[in-house]
A and B are shown apart, each in its own frame.
Chain A
Amino acid sequence: MGLTNTPSDLLPGTLELLILKALSHGPKHGYGIVEHLRLASKDVLQVGESALYPALQRLLVNAWATAEWGTSENNRRARYYTLTATGRRQLAAERAEFDRMVGGIQGVLRTT
């Protein structure tokens, strides 16, 4: 597994966008989010695993998600993150912004 600890090889804010998206299907714990990103991107996106946690704290600070301790599928105590209504709105906004950005980048790439 190639590991980077900073999300700097992603566009800024993309990690949060991906986490928001991952949570939009329902509450998940940190490990679950990492696994989701890995599977959903077919191993293309491999997040430095501990780098996830500062990003999750940013979600908490902005009240896009709430965190609660619960029990995982194999009976471990795990901290589950749940998207809030603000979080859903943020997801939609960031997604639109991302599409715009990608569109822009593609535009640039095509013209050359």
Chain B
Amino acid sequence: MTSLIRRLWYRVTQARHDTDLSEEIETHRQLRQAQLERGGLSPADAALASRRALGNVTLAREEARDVWTLAWIEHAWQDLVLAVRGLRHSKTFTVVAVGTLALGIGANTALFSIFDSLLLRQLPVREPSRLVVFDEGSYTYPIWQAVEAQTASVFEGAFAYANLELDLAVSGQRQPVDAAYASGGLFDVLGVTAIRGRLLRPSDDRPDANAMVAVISHRFWQQRYAGADSAIGAALTLDRHPFTIVGVMPPGFSGPDVGRLDDVMIPFAAEPVLRGVDSGLTERSMWWLEIMGRLKPGVSLEQANAALVTLQPGIRTASMPADAESFLEDPLTLVSASTGRSPLRRRFETPLRAMQATVAAVLLIACASLANLMLARALSRRRELSVRLALGASRWRVTRLLAVETVVVVAAGAALGVLFARWSSAVLVQQLATWRGSVFLDLSLDWRVLGFTAGLAAVTAVIAGIVPALAVTGVAPGDAMKESSRTITGDRRLSVRGALVVVQIALSLVLIVGAGLFLRTFAALNATPLGFAAGGLTVANVNLPAVVSEPAARRDLLERLDAAIAAAPGVRAAGLSVIAPITGSGWNDQIGKADGPPTAERRAYVNAVTPRWFATMGIRRLIGRDFARTDRIGAPPVTIVNETFARRFLAGRPPIGQRVVAGGPRDRHEFEVVGVVSDAVYRSLREGVVPTMYLPLASEESPGSGITMTVSTSNAARSTVDRLLADTLHGVDPGLTFSVRDFDQFIRGGLTQERLVALLSAFFGGLALLLAAIGLYGVVAHAVDVRRTEIGLRLALGADRLGILALVFRRVAVMLAIGLAAGLGLSLWASRFVGALLFHLEPRDVTTFAAALTVLVAASALAAWIPARRASRIDPAQVLREG
């Protein structure tokens, strides 16, 4: 092996070796001459004799060189040089071929590296195959305590965690950081060890422990502390509370959830300090954490699930809330967590698979395209190849020459593709990030991604290389000598090329149909009326200080906040709400019939808002009144409903003055309808308008610690709105913290997935169309060239030009018809899988299919028209003269 490296190194430095050898042989000769002169010969005789003594120096030099070379390396090298030289001579071909492949392989690699990271890669922990997660989360803290206490027979260890966002700021605008509460055993169970300090342990997570400790991610350590050892023991402010950093998590470990990187992890025992009265540790109906476990060695998932069935009643009894009717009735189920848990995976798996299929089709088209180009190239080089054969090159050697050319093109395409993939996958992941939080995916090239790319390249080389290689078998050494300009017979190789074009057309149709469906979905969502004036709104998520925990104090603070922001300079209108629209968050209640109790089928979404919130959001009041300052706790409970609510639940009677019963079976409230407002989207564009009832914020019995503030400002004040909010909030209470978003960001964020899918599928659909058109053009142009004499003769014998056009187009029509029929069948079949991604659109939408067919037919006609027209303009006289 090392001698192989020495040989290769010799190749690189061969020039120096040659001069060295010549020089040392010359030294040798001079030494010999000097000795002969000392023996009494004249210098001239001595020089001659020394030369004789050396013998055949040229032969020796060649032998010395041969020592270093191996025949197969030499031949491979020659092939490579020849191939590269050949490719450099046809630059257009090379650029098109390599570029097409780089796009095809790059797109596949990019998506696969996301796919790999999100779906395939195991967690970087000890024996991930034994990890399981409680399915269909979330769970309450008492359930976790019961699970921990009662499942020792199943688990070697279990842990709970809850993701959250913490604030690093000491005051003012929030500096959010992705974080998680972790039960004490998390790191022990996962088998993750610290690279500095120590990680959390069970003793940190007891009620009597000093729980104000934090471990940080490797990234956080590098970014904030520049990887210094002094980070251990340093103070870290989290949500205004002092924590001490005790350790750094290893690089590559980003937490139990895939798609997110927890920069900070703190024990659950710190939660009561951060949340105060809102603490969830004793809450039996607050579902906010995930539970994972490590199965005992030898316990299978089925056995564990069976054991859990018998354990569930105990867990249920230990954690049941007082007023529960149905609680933990569905069986607790464990699923494998070897690749971690991932809400992101759930959300993006279907679009990701659809896109992966799309780019696979693109690569197939690129393969067909490359095969076609290679074949055309091989055919145009028949004369050169037959000369090579005639001069004694073996058929295998000539075939190999073409194969090496394919390999060089594919290798260059794959290398460029990997570069393209590195860049584009990072861009794609950035696009997945929404206002709601950053997305973290480890996109480092692991063996699986590189293996995938290498495999793709190999398959591509085989598909694209085999056709032209076969074509060479038809070349005879004598071909070069023969003139073959008079052939009229059809060419078998043309039918191979025709078949390749048919494949391209079929796959293009699938991609164009997909692009059409996704573009129309995006357009439909984009055109969905929101029901409010989104432009120029700023949304702030405000957090109340933890010291303000009494409901009355909170209500008072919210009221002062509302008054202050409305009076701030430059503010046109402002309002507070518990829920910010189109953020995906929601709060719903069951609605009772006029004469019956609330039922699960009758659900309405709820929001609590201040007066003027409707005006701020641009939601119109249709009848009745707005909320007033007097609608507060103690006053008669009132509600404002939207049109859909009124239509569905108020049964066509005049809404004002009607009474609405809302709530669960136990905590039932009755409200009087005082107004109806226009419909507006509540949770997401896809969900659209839902029955909504609004309650006065001031009548909330126990307001939460967070509130959404929506501010409409004048254009002049927009650029300084951050400053304005900071000043106003500081004036109301220095303990208030907030983060600001432009409202348009919510809308854009809600359509991330649709926009991405539409953009990508449109891009690849366009690319497929272009490749198919180029392929068709190439085949038709070649066919016209081959039949030039025949066409000339036909024209000379009286055929009219229209007839020639028809002759060419008949051939195109056949290819197109076969391709479209196959593509249509394939599209109809494939459309079943994208139904979930569409909006207000059938997967077999006739308009989309018809449009896609039209586009493809038009593009094909255009591609065929150019060579067809050339055929019809052939000058018969010239053709006859040529002959």
Structural contact, B6 and A50, CB atoms closer than 8 A: no
Whether A5 contacts B68 by the Cβ 8 Å rule is no
A50-B55, A57-B68, A63-B2 as given contacts; A78 in contact with B61, CB under 8 Å: no
Would you give the shortest CB distance from B602 to chain A, in whole angstroms? Answer: 86
Q: Is the pair A49, B32 in contact by a Cβ cutoff of 8 Å? A: yes
Q: Which stretch from B17-25, B94-102, B504-512 is at the chain A interface?
A: B17-25
Are B64 and A54 in contact (CB-based, < 8 A)? Answer: yes
- CA distance in complex: A57, B59 (Å): 14
Q: Tell whether B7 is near chain A: CB-to-CB under 8 Å.
A: yes
Indicate which residue in A29, A49, A67, A78 contacts B54 across the interface (CB closer than 8 Å). Answer: A49
Residue A30 is within 8 A (CB to CB) of chain B in the complex: yes
Q: A31-B31, A53-B21 are in contact. Are A62 and B3 (CB under 8 A)?
A: yes
State the Cβ distance, A50 to closest chain B Cβ, in Å.
4
Which residues on B sit within 8 Å (CB–CB) of A61? 3, 6-7, 67-68
Which residues of B39-72 have CB atoms within 8 Å of chain A's CB atoms? 52-57, 59-61, 63-68
Q: Taking the complex as formed, is B34 at the interface, i.e. its CB lies under 8 A from any CB of chain A?
A: yes
Q: Inside 8 A of B24's CB, which chain A residues have their CB?
A: 29-30, 53, 78-79
For residue B400, CB closer than 8 A to chain A, the reply is: no
Taking the closest CB of chain A, its distance from the CB of B36, in whole angstroms, is 10
Instruction: Give A30 Cβ to nearest chain B Cβ, in Å.
Output: 5
**Chain A nearest CB, measured from B28 CB (Å):** 5
- CA of A50 to CA of B25 in the docked complex: distance in angstroms? 7
Contact of A76 among B30, B55, B56, B68 (CB under 8 A): B30
By a CB distance below 8 angstroms, the chain B residues around A96 are: none
Nearest CB of chain A from residue B8's CB, rounded to whole Å? 12
* A77 interface contact, C-beta 8 A: yes
Residues of B within 8 A of A29 (CB): 24, 27-28
Q: Which residues of A contact B20 (CB under 8 A)?
A: 67, 79
- Contact: A58 with B67, CB < 8 Å? yes
- With A5-B55, A49-B54, A50-B55 given, is the CB distance from A31 to B32 under 8 Å? yes
CB proximity to B under 8 Å, residues A22-70: 29-31, 34, 48-54, 56-58, 60-63, 67
Bound Cα distance A4, B52 (Å)? 11
Residues of A within 8 A of B27 (CB): 29-31, 72, 76-79
| Residues 827-859 of B at the A interface (beta carbon under 8 Å) | none
In the complex, A14→B67 CA distance in Å? 17
Interface residue? A3 (CB, 8 A): yes
A:3-18 near B, CB below 8 Å:
3-5
Residues 421-452 of B, flagged 1 when their CB comes within 8 A of A and 0 if not, give 00000000000000000000000000000000
Is A112 an interface residue, CB under 8 A from the partner?
no
Known pairs A30-B27, A61-B67, A77-B27 / 12 extra A-B pairs, C-beta < 8 Å: A5-B59, A30-B25, A30-B28, A49-B32, A50-B57, A50-B59, A50-B60, A51-B55, A53-B61, A57-B67, A61-B3, A61-B7
Chain A residue nearest to B49 (CB atoms) is A1
Docked Cα-Cα span, A34 to B55, in Å, equals: 14
Say whether A49 contacts B53, CB under 8 Å: yes
Chain A nearest Cβ from B748, distance in angstroms:
64
Measured CA separation A76–B63 after assembly (Å): 26
Inter-chain contact B60/A5, CB cutoff 8 Å: yes
Q: Which of A1, A48, A53, A79 has the most CB of B within 10 A?
A: A53
Render A69-91 as a binary contact track against B, CB cut-off 8 A, 1 for contact.
00010101111000000000000
* Distance A97 CA – B56 CA, assembled complex (angstroms): 31
Can you list 25 A-B pairs, Cβ within 8 angstroms, ordered by A? A1-B53, A3-B53, A3-B55, A30-B25, A31-B32, A48-B55, A49-B53, A50-B55, A50-B56, A50-B59, A50-B60, A51-B55, A51-B63, A52-B60, A53-B64, A54-B64, A57-B67, A61-B6, A63-B2, A63-B6, A76-B30, A77-B27, A78-B27, A78-B31, A79-B27
Residues on A with beta carbons closer than 8 Å to the beta carbon of B66: 54
**Range, interface on chain A:** 20 to 34
**Chain B residues in 8 Å Cβ range of A76:** 27, 30-31
> A54 CA to B24 CA in the complex, in Å?
12
Q: Which residue of A lies closest to B67 (CB)?
A: A57
Interface bits B56-92 vs A (CB < 8 Å: 1, else 0): 1101110111111000000000000000000000000
Taking CB atoms, residues of chain A closer than 8 Å to B63 are 51, 53-54
Q: A77 — which chain B residues lie within 8 A by C-beta?
A: 23, 27
Q: In the complex, what residues of A have CB within 8 A of residue B30's CB?
A: 76
Contact B31 A5 (CB under 8 A): no
* Residues of the B chain whose Cβ atoms lie less than 8 Å from the Cβ of A67: 20
Task: State A49–B56 Cα separation when bound (angstroms).
Answer: 9
Q: Give B45 Cβ to nearest chain A Cβ, in Å.
A: 14
CB-CB < 8 A to A57: which residues of B?
21, 64-65, 67-68
**How many Å from the CB of B66 to the closest CB on chain A?**
8
Flag if A49 contacts B31 (CB, 8 Å). no
User: In whole angstroms, how far apart are the Cα atoms of A34 and B28 in the complex?
Assistant: 10
> A9 → chain B, closest Cβ, in Å?
14
Is the CB–CB distance between B6 and A53 below 8 Å?
Answer: no
C-alpha spacing A83/B829, complex, angstroms: 72
Q: Which residue of B lies closest to A48 (CB)?
A: B55
Residues of A within 8 A of B34 (CB): 74
Task: List residues of B (3-21) whose CB comes within 8 Å of A's CBs.
Answer: 3, 6-7, 20-21
- Expressed in whole angstroms, the Cα–Cα distance for A56 and B676 within the complex equals 101
Q: Are A54 and B67 in contact (CB under 8 A)?
A: yes
Q: State the Cβ distance, B10 to closest chain A Cβ, in Å.
A: 8
Q: Pick from B6, B34, B54 the residue with the most CB of A within 10 Å.
A: B54
Q: How near does chain A come to B740, taking the closest CB pair, in angstroms?
A: 68
Q: In the complex, A23→B32 CA distance in Å?
A: 20
Chain B residues with Cβ below 8 Å from A1 are 53
Closest chain B residue, CB of each to CB of A47 = B55
Chain B contacts of A3 at CB under 8 A?
52-53, 55
Distance in Å: Cβ of B38 to nearest Cβ of chain A:
11
Chain A contacts for B31, CB-based, 8 A: 31, 72, 76, 78
Complex CA gap A56/B20 in Å reads: 13
Q: How many Å lie between the Cα of A49 and that of B53 in the bound state? A: 6
Q: Report the Cα distance A44→B57, complex, angstroms.
A: 23
Determine the residue in chain A with the shortest Cβ distance to B68. Answer: A61
Known contacts A53-B21, A79-B24, A5 near B64 by CB under 8 Å:
no
CB distance from A78 to the nearest CB of B (A): 5
Q: Which residues of A contact B7 (CB under 8 A)?
A: 61
Which of B34, B56, B64 has the most A CB atoms < 10 Å from its CB? B64
Most central of A31, A62, A72, A74 by chain B CB within 10 Å: A31
Closest Cβ–Cβ distance, residue B777 to chain A (whole Å): 54
B60 lies within 8 A of A53 (CB): yes
CA of A30 to CA of B27, assembled, Å: 9
Contact A5 B21 (CB under 8 A): no
The distance in angstroms between the C-alpha atoms of A48 and B60, with both chains bound, is 10
Per-residue CB contact flags for chain B residues 101-140 toward chain A (1 = under 8 Å, else 0) read 0000000000000000000000000000000000000000
Which B residues touch A56, using CB under 8 A? 64
Chain A, Cβ-Cβ closest to B7 = A61
Cross-chain contact B59 with A31 (CB below 8 angstroms): no
Whether A50 and B67, one on each chain, are in contact in the complex, defined by CB atoms closer than 8 angstroms, is no
Interface-central residue, A4, A50, A58, A72, by most chain B CB under 10 Å:
A50
Q: In whole angstroms, what is the CA distance A67 to B61 when docked?
A: 17
Which residue of A has the minimal Cβ distance to B6?
Answer: A61
Q: Which 8 A-B pairs have the closest CB atoms?
A: A50-B60, A54-B63, A57-B67, A5-B55, A79-B24, A31-B31, A57-B64, A31-B28
Query: Cβ of A34: which chain B residues have Cβ within 8 Å of it?
Result: 28
Contact partner of A49 among B3, B28, B59, B61, CB < 8 A? B28
